[in-house]
């Protein structure tokens, strides 16, 4: 977005060569958090698991309905670039972990799709 060659910074410089580009400190701090988490294997595993659980339930209306039967709030995906979205996704999972496990167990027991049964079992194993 703020690229010196094609982004906002370049467009501002085209209009006024005396204008100086100052990056947003909040954005820079957000990037520090995102990059720090991507260098820690435990954080990579956690955010990967959160994304897998979210994608598993979002991938099917039937699975989403089962999840909603147990979990009263919506699960969130883990954003690649927004640290605040990671925080929301972690809280949604941690605050509802027993209920999510129950929903995964129901999918594992009742699903007609063998892939869904297998993935639910894998997610249950990974999350414990």
Question: What would the pLDDT profile of 74-112 be if each residue is shown by its tens digit?
Answer: 888 877 777 778 888 888 888 999 999 999 999 999 988
55 to 7, 14, 43, 79, 93: CA distances (angstroms) = 32, 43, 18, 12, 13
Alpha carbon separation from 94 to 6, 16, 47, 50 (Å, rounded): 41, 50, 12, 10
What pLDDT, in 10s, does the model give residues 17-57? 888 777 777 777 877 877 777 788 998 888 889 999 999 99
- Of 116, 96, 97, give the one whose Cα is nearest residue 106: 116
pTM: 0.73
Q: How many residues does the chain have?
A: 128
Which two tokens mark 83?
A: 């640290």
């Amino acid at each position: 977005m703020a690229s010196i060659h094609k982004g906002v910074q370049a467009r501002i410089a085209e209009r006024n060569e005396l204008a100086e580009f100052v990056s947003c400190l909040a954005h820079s701090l957000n990037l520090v958090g995102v990059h720090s988490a991507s260098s820690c294997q435990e954080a990579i595993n956690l955010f990967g698991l959160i994304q897998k659980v979210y994608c598993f339930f979002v991938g099917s209306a039937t699975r989403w309905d089962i999840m909603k039967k147990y979990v009263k709030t919506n699960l969130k995906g883990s954003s690649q670039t927004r640290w605040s979205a990671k925080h929301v996704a972690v809280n949604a999972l941690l605050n509802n972990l027993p209920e999510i496990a129950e929903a995964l167990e129901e999918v594992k027991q009742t699903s007609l799709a063998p892939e869904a049964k297998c993935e639910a079992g894998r997610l249950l194993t990974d999350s414990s």
